[in-house]
Chains A and B, each alone.
Chain A
Amino acid sequence: MKIIRPQGILIDITRCLGCGQCVEACRTLHGQSPEPEPGARLSASDRTVVDERYSQPVRRMCMHCLDPACASACPVAALRKTAAGPVVYDASRCLGCRYCLQACPFDVPRYEWDQPVPSVVKCDLCADRLAAGGLPACVEACPAEAAQFGPRDELIAEARRRIADDPTSYHPRIYGLEEVGGTSVLFLSPVSFEELGFPTGLPSEPLPDRTAVAIERVPGIVGVGALFLSAVWWITKRREEVARAEGPAEPPRRRRPDPPETTGNEEEHHV
C-alpha cells in the first residue's frame, strides 16, 4: 500500500494546559457525557485522556502507526491503516480475538468486556470528519494549540523548528518519528519521554516485519516439506518392498538389548 502524504497530529506537551477540552470534545462526539471517567486512563469510553500522573499533563491516544501492529495482527482486516493516516476499525468484520490488544506496542486498544456484542475501542483520528474536510475533534477543541493537525512531513518540519528555536524548553527528541517505523501522531515534550511513561525501548523497524519473517517461510515450508515427505514415503516404502521380496533375512540386530519386558504392575513388587 502506497501512502501519499498521510496526515497526523503533533502534540506539544510544553503547550498543554491540561484543561481536558480535547477529552470532552472526544466524549461528546461519541455520544457520552463530557466528564471523563476517573483515573484518566484510556478505556472503552475514553479514546483519549489527559494523564496527570507525571510532571506534565500528557495526552494519551492511538499513535496511528505508519505500519500498525494491530492491523497486521487482525485476521480479518477489521483494523487497517488508511492512506489518509487514520488506523480505523470495522466492528462488522471483527471476530473478537483481541490479538490487536495483545499486539499494540503502545497498549492503546480497549475492549468492551461487559458487552455481549463487544467491540474494540480506540481513536480513529476522526476519519469521518477528515474525509469531510474537517479536523479531528480534539485538535479543534484545543484552546492552546497544543495539538496541530496536518501532513506528517510538515508536522515533523514544524517540530524540528520548535526544538531548534527553543532548545532549552524542549527535549530534543520527537516521539513517533522512528518508533516502530514511525507514527502519524507525534509528541514534543519538555522532559524526556521516559519520565512521562512513554515506552522508549521500542525498535525503529515496524513490528509487522517480525511476523512477516515467519509468514514468508510458509511457501518454502510447504514446498520443501511436501518434497521431503514424499521422498521419505517413497524410499521407506521401497525399502519395505525390497525387504519383503528378499524374504526374512537374519533377524535385525539390536545395538543394546532392552531389559526384559515388565508391565506397570510388576514394579510394585520391586519397590
Chain B
Amino acid sequence: MSERNLRRRFWASFAWLTLGLGLAIVILRFQLGLGAVTNLSDQFPWGLWVGFDVLCGVGLAAGGFTITALVHLFHIRRLEPIVRPAVLTAFLGYVLVIVALVIDLGRPWNLWHPLVMWNPRSVMFEVSWCVMLYTAVLALEASGMLFEHLGWRRALTLQKAFTTPLVVAGVLLSTLHQSSLGAFYLLSPGKLHPLWYSAALPLLFWISSVAAGFAMVLVESRLSGRAFGRELEMPVQRLVGRMLLGALVVLALARGLDLAVRGVLAHVFDGTYEASLLQLEVTLGILLPIVLLSHRRWRARASGLWAAGLLTVFGFVIHRLNVSITGFEASRGATYIPAWTEIVVSLALVTAGFLAFRWVAAHLPVFPPRALARVPDRARRWTR
C-alpha cells in the first residue's frame, strides 16, 4: 500500500472514529444531563461548546458576509471565485453552530421559543433571531450551486435576481450578531477580567470576525489544494492577504486604543496569567500575521499567506476562549478545563464540517474551474 493511501486511511479512520465517539457522548449527554459529560458548573455555566463551537464557529464563518459584500456590493470581481466556497463554509459553519447549540442547550427542544416568546431587551434574543435569519439567507445564497448542479435554470435565474438584497441582508444580520456575541459579556463587569471587559467588546468582536473571515479563506484555499488538487490563483490569494492585513491593522489599533483608553495598557506587561494570555493572543493572532503580510516576500508566497491565515485563526480562537473562559477564572475563584468528552464532541463537529465541505465540493460546482490553479500532484492527499 502506498504511503498516500496509508495516510488517507489513517485520516479517514480518525475522522469516523471521532464522529462515532462524539455521537455516543451526545447520546449520553441527553440521557444523563450536561454534568455527566462536561466539566460545566454553576461557576462556569459556559464552557468549550459555547466558547469554541459557538463563538469561534460564528466568527470563523464571517467570510460568508465579507466576501459576498466585496463581490456583489463593492463589485470587486477578482474575488468572484471565492464567493461560493466562502458561502458554503459559512452555511456549513452556521449549521454546525446550531448543532452545537442543540447539544449545549439544556432544553434544545425549545430552540424555537424565541420566535414566539419575545424579550427584546435580551442580547441572546437578538442573536437567536439573527442566527436563524442569517442561516436562512446563507441557505438561499448557497442554493445557486444546487440549482446549477440540477440544471434548474429558472430557479437559478430567480435566485440570482435576489442576490443583491440577500447579500445586503446577510451583511446587516452578520454585523448585528457578530458584534452581539461580544455584547453578551457587557453584563459581566467585575466578573470578566478588565484586560478583556470593555464597552467596546461588540465592536472588537465585529472587527476580529472580519479578519477571521479573510484568514479562513486563505486556510481553506490551502486545504482545498490538498484535498482537490486545486487552490486559488495567487493574485486572488494575495488580494485576500492584503485585505486580511488591512483588517488586522484596524484590529491592532482598536485593541491598543481600547486598552489605552481604559487605562489598563500597563497591565498587559505586569506578568500575570491573564497578561500572558493576552500577549499570546495579540502576538500570535494579530502582530505576527501583520509582520508576515506586510513583507511582500512572504505575501507573495502561498506558504506565507497560509501561515498568516492560520496564525490569525489561532489568535482569534485564543481571544474568544479568553473572553469566554479564562478571563472569568480569577473572579470565579475556580478554573474550568474541558472534559475530554467535551473536546471530542467539539472535534467531531469540526470533522463533520470538513467532511461535509468535501462532500459538497465533490458533488456541486463550488469551485469555478477558471480561477483555480492546479496544485502539483504530490501535494494531493485526500483525493479519492
The answer to whether A256 touches B46, judged by C-beta atoms less than 8 angstroms apart, is: no
B114 beta carbon closer than 8 Å to chain A: yes
Instruction: Tell me the smallest distance from the CB of A6 to a CB of chain B, in Å.
Output: 19
B270 beta carbon closer than 8 Å to chain A: no
Which of chain B's residues have a CB closer than 8 A to the CB of A239? Answer: 75
The answer to whether B110 touches A76, judged by C-beta atoms less than 8 angstroms apart, is: yes
Q: Which among B107, B191, B222 has the highest number of chain A CB atoms within 10 Å?
A: B107
Q: How many residues of B contact A (CB 8 A)?
A: 75
The answer to whether A267 touches B34, judged by C-beta atoms less than 8 angstroms apart, is: no
B123 beta carbon closer than 8 Å to chain A: yes
B254 beta carbon closer than 8 Å to chain A: no
A240: nearest chain-B partner, CB-CB: B75
The number of residue pairs between A and B whose CB atoms lie closer than 8 Å in the complex comes to 205
Contacts A214-B202, A264-B225 given: A114-B73 contact, CB under 8 Å?
A: no
A3 beta carbon closer than 8 Å to chain B: no
Pick the residue among B42, B183, B303 that contacts A214 (CB under 8 A).
Answer: B183
The answer to whether B121 touches A97, judged by C-beta atoms less than 8 angstroms apart, is: no
The answer to whether A211 touches B69, judged by C-beta atoms less than 8 angstroms apart, is: no
Contacts A215-B120, A232-B74 given: A99-B184 contact, CB under 8 Å?
A: yes
The answer to whether B297 touches A94, judged by C-beta atoms less than 8 angstroms apart, is: no
A97, B102: Cα distance in complex, Å: 10
The answer to whether B303 touches A225, judged by C-beta atoms less than 8 angstroms apart, is: no
A13 beta carbon closer than 8 Å to chain B: no
Pick the residue among B43, B171, B375 that contacts A265 (CB under 8 A).
Answer: B375
Partner-contacting stretch, out of B88-96, B174-182, B261-269, B355-363:
B174-182
A73, B119: Cα distance in complex, Å: 9
Contacts A110-B42, A202-B190, A267-B301 given: A215-B111 contact, CB under 8 Å?
A: no
Which of chain A's residues have a CB closer than 8 A to the CB of B118? Answer: 76-77
Pick the residue among B119, B175, B180, B199 that contacts A210 (CB under 8 A).
Answer: B199
B384 beta carbon closer than 8 Å to chain A: no
Partner-contacting stretch, out of B124-132, B310-318, B346-354:
B124-132
A113, B111: Cα distance in complex, Å: 19
B33 beta carbon closer than 8 Å to chain A: yes
Pick the residue among A115, A203, A233 that contacts B189 (CB under 8 A).
Answer: A203
Q: Which among A97, A119, A211, A230 has the highest number of chain B CB atoms within 10 Å?
A: A97
The answer to whether B69 touches A229, judged by C-beta atoms less than 8 angstroms apart, is: yes
The answer to whether A98 touches B375, judged by C-beta atoms less than 8 angstroms apart, is: no
A107, B264: Cα distance in complex, Å: 26
Instruction: Tell me the smallest distance from the CB of A115 to a CB of chain B, in Å.
Output: 5
The answer to whether B106 touches A111, judged by C-beta atoms less than 8 angstroms apart, is: yes
The answer to whether A96 touches B30, judged by C-beta atoms less than 8 angstroms apart, is: no
The answer to whether B189 touches A210, judged by C-beta atoms less than 8 angstroms apart, is: yes
A2, B114: Cα distance in complex, Å: 24
Instruction: Tell me the smallest distance from the CB of A87 to a CB of chain B, in Å.
Output: 14
Mark interface residues in A6-27 (1 if CB within 8 Å of B CB, else 0): 0000000000000000000000
The answer to whether B114 touches A76, judged by C-beta atoms less than 8 angstroms apart, is: yes
The secondary-structure label for the interface of chain B is helix
A237: nearest chain-B partner, CB-CB: B75
A75, B206: Cα distance in complex, Å: 21
A165 beta carbon closer than 8 Å to chain B: no
The answer to whether A74 touches B124, judged by C-beta atoms less than 8 angstroms apart, is: yes
Contacts A97-B105, A103-B188, A261-B234 given: A77-B117 contact, CB under 8 Å?
A: yes
B272 beta carbon closer than 8 Å to chain A: no
A213, B180: Cα distance in complex, Å: 11
Pick the residue among B176, B179, B222 that contacts A264 (CB under 8 A).
Answer: B222
Instruction: Tell me the smallest distance from the CB of A216 to a CB of chain B, in Å.
Output: 10
Which of chain A's residues have a CB closer than 8 A to the CB of B24? Answer: none
B45 beta carbon closer than 8 Å to chain A: yes
Which of chain B's residues have a CB closer than 8 A to the CB of A105? Answer: 190-191
The answer to whether A93 touches B117, judged by C-beta atoms less than 8 angstroms apart, is: yes
A219, B108: Cα distance in complex, Å: 29
A199, B306: Cα distance in complex, Å: 47
Pick the residue among B113, B186, B296 that contacts A93 (CB under 8 A).
Answer: B113
Pick the residue among B31, B40, B108, B122 that contacts A113 (CB under 8 A).
Answer: B40
Which of chain A's residues have a CB closer than 8 A to the CB of B75? Answer: 233, 236-237, 239-240
B300 beta carbon closer than 8 Å to chain A: yes
The answer to whether B300 touches A259, judged by C-beta atoms less than 8 angstroms apart, is: yes
Contacts A98-B45, A256-B296, A264-B303 given: A211-B183 contact, CB under 8 Å?
A: yes
A111, B241: Cα distance in complex, Å: 45
The answer to whether A229 touches B171, judged by C-beta atoms less than 8 angstroms apart, is: yes
A258 beta carbon closer than 8 Å to chain B: yes
B38: nearest chain-A partner, CB-CB: A113
A117 beta carbon closer than 8 Å to chain B: yes
The answer to whether A102 touches B45, judged by C-beta atoms less than 8 angstroms apart, is: yes
The answer to whether A99 touches B121, judged by C-beta atoms less than 8 angstroms apart, is: no
The answer to whether B45 touches A111, judged by C-beta atoms less than 8 angstroms apart, is: yes
The answer to whether B125 touches A214, judged by C-beta atoms less than 8 angstroms apart, is: no
The answer to whether A76 touches B125, judged by C-beta atoms less than 8 angstroms apart, is: yes
Which of chain B's residues have a CB closer than 8 A to the CB of A258? Answer: 238, 296, 299-300
Contacts A103-B188, A229-B73, A236-B73 given: A98-B46 contact, CB under 8 Å?
A: yes
Residue pairs across A and B with Cβ atoms less than 8 A apart, 23 shown, are A74-B124, A76-B114, A95-B105, A96-B106, A96-B107, A96-B108, A96-B110, A97-B124, A98-B106, A107-B42, A113-B38, A113-B40, A116-B30, A207-B189, A210-B189, A211-B187, A214-B123, A233-B75, A233-B164, A236-B75, A259-B297, A262-B234, A266-B301
Q: Please name 18 further chain A to chain B contacts, defined as beta carbons within 8 Å, in addition to the given A94-B107, A261-B300, sorted by A numbering.
A: A74-B122, A75-B114, A75-B124, A95-B108, A99-B124, A110-B42, A207-B187, A210-B186, A215-B126, A222-B172, A233-B168, A237-B75, A258-B300, A262-B301, A264-B222, A264-B375, A264-B379, A265-B302
* 3 closest Cβ pairs, A-B complex: A96-B106, A113-B35, A264-B302
